[in-house]
Structure 1
Amino acid sequence: MFKRFARLRIVALFGGLLLASACTASNSEAPVPYTEGTEYVTLPTPAQRYSSDGKVEVVEIFSYGCIHCAHFAPIAEQMRKQLPAGVVFKLLPAAFNDQWVPFARAFYAAQKLGVLDQTHLALFQAKFSDHYPISTLDELADFYATKGVDRAKFLSIASSDEVTAQIKRDMAFVQKWQIDGTPTIVVDGKYRSNSVKTLDQLAALTQWLAKRELTGK
């Protein structure tokens, strides 16, 4: 059984994941697979969307420093492909502490260099399966260099004021969404995953919330 997600301190937010079973609706209604307050919570209004592109958005808050995110990454990739039209999937790299800041910088550098799709799963593989020492920005630059990225250009972008500002904006969303662990999913700035038993359940919950939001129910 999947035991727990990564838990890191952010401002004054603490918490642990509770394991709970889903409830069903009354006999007169179709079963409801997930329960408000258990598998997901409704965030305070008004909704705090990550973007303004008009589509229902699914945001995964993650880190390359999180082993549970590494386990979820291939599941999330399959989930992304199965999301219905009108739903967009986004990644938000959490910088909960100094150790995770280089990973957030690397994410945005890879995105700006156009190599994110090719390197996202590969970085998790290298760090957690192949056990390469990838923690500092220099070590991350070495990793991206093996993928054909110019090392100096990577470091320049990753260390830029623009990326620093983006990470600050991201952490403002993390606080608004009351995120204290990874991986966590936020749908349309309205719903946040909460207490789930497995990573597969997290993906299924995401699909359910996205489809419900898409249909306006």
Structure 2
Amino acid sequence: MYTTARFRWTTLFFGLLLTSACNAASPDASTSAPTYTDGNEYVTLAPPYQRMSNAGKVEVVEVFSYACIHCAEFSPYADALRKSLPPGVVFKLVPAPFNDTWVPFARAYYAAKKLGVVEKTHDALFKAKFTDQYPINSPGEIANFYASQGVDKAKFVSIENSPEVDAQIKSDLALIQAWGVDGTPTIVVDGKYRTANVGTFPNLVALTKWLVQKELNEKGK
């Protein structure tokens, strides 16, 4: 499957990142604007900038996995972020196929997307796996979850194992590598900026909004 030693997510690392020294209080928004430093809170990627599409809108991409508990914890923040983005900005998801354990979840995302049920099942899968503690790990268990959500299991399995999904996962991994993403959740803005040392989920949201505005300003929008 699509694995690489370079892309092995360490849950402990991100957990420490969220609760350690990066927890220092941010400037009070009521008195001063936040200050972010390239190379610290975010990284400017080298051109040519690689976007998911050429649709013209500024892209906010969350690299995530249904296997990642921190993505589950970030999901409510991501939902709020998506709803708060200004016109001309689009929010997208890319499932990270970092290893053989995560690839089935990436396949599941694309099968759900093809069947038009991501809106219904995205947060529900996180809840079932991490809050309700249902065993959702193997391809069979994942398929059973979607069947419990009213999805045709046979169609789901057929789509998730299709050549189209194979190609999409291969393309995703190449894009994620080009962005230098090695953990989740990570946000990439317009293929140009990658979030880095953010400390907390509210900080990740605030940084993303700041990068979006920065990109809109540079585009004269």
- The TM-score range, normalised by the shorter chain, is 0.7 to 0.9
Residue identity in the other structure for 1:75? Y
Contact 1:49 1:188 in 2 (8 A): yes
Tell me the equivalent position of 2:97.
Answer: 95
Residue identity in the other structure for 2:205? A
Contact 1:22 1:35 in 2 (8 A): no
Tell me the equivalent position of 2:155.
Answer: 153
Q: Which has the higher helix share?
A: 2
Report how far residue 100 of structure 1 moved. 0.3
Tell me the equivalent position of 1:57.
Answer: 59
Are residues 1:73 and 2:75 paired?
A: yes
**159, 178, 181: which one aligns with 2:180:** 178
Contact 1:93 1:103 in 2 (8 A): yes
Q: For 1:152 and 1:161, how far apart are their aligned partners in 2?
A: 16
Please show how residues 1-217 of structure 1 align to structure 2 within 5 Å: 10-12=4-6, 19-20=21-22, 31-216=33-218
Sequence identity (%) = 59
Q: For 1:101 and 1:77, how far apart are their aligned partners in 2?
A: 23
Q: For 1:33 and 1:125, how far apart are their aligned partners in 2?
A: 34
Aligned length: 204
Residue identity in the other structure for 2:207? L
Show structure 1 runs of 5+ residues with no match. 1-8, 25-29
Report how far residue 67 of structure 1 moved. 0.2
TM-score normalised by structure 2 residue count: 0.86
Q: For 1:176 and 1:22, how far apart are their aligned partners in 2?
A: 32
Report how far residue 131 of structure 1 moved. 0.4
DSSP 3-state at the match of 1:182? coil
Report how far residue 12 of structure 1 moved. 3.3
Residue identity in the other structure for 1:12? R
Partner deviation per Cα, 1:144-174 (whole Å, 9 max, x = no partner): 1111100011000001110011000000001
Q: Which consecutive aligned stretches of 4+ in structure 1 deviate over 3 angstroms post-superposition?
A: 9-24
Q: For 1:85 and 1:137, how far apart are their aligned partners in 2?
A: 38
Q: For 1:90 and 1:11, how far apart are their aligned partners in 2?
A: 26
Q: For 2:145 and 2:43, how far apart are their aligned partners in 1?
A: 37
Report how far residue 11 of structure 1 moved. 4.1
TM-score normalised by structure 1 residue count: 0.88
Q: For 2:26 and 2:136, how far apart are their aligned partners in 1?
A: 42
Residue identity in the other structure for 1:51? S
Q: For 1:119 and 1:13, how far apart are their aligned partners in 2?
A: 26
Change (3 A) 1:200 1:32: closer
Report how far residue 31 of structure 1 moved. 4.7
Q: Please tell me the root mean square deviation across aligned C-alpha atoms, in Å.
A: 2.1
Change (3 A) 1:22 1:168: farther
Report how far residue 216 of structure 1 moved. 1.4
Contact 1:75 1:200 in 2 (8 A): yes
Q: For 1:36 and 1:23, how far apart are their aligned partners in 2?
A: 17
Contact 2:49 2:192 in 1 (8 A): yes
Q: For 1:23 and 1:79, how far apart are their aligned partners in 2?
A: 19
Q: For 1:115 and 1:31, how far apart are their aligned partners in 2?
A: 39
Q: For 2:113 and 2:7, how far apart are their aligned partners in 1?
A: 29
Contact 2:7 2:98 in 1 (8 A): no
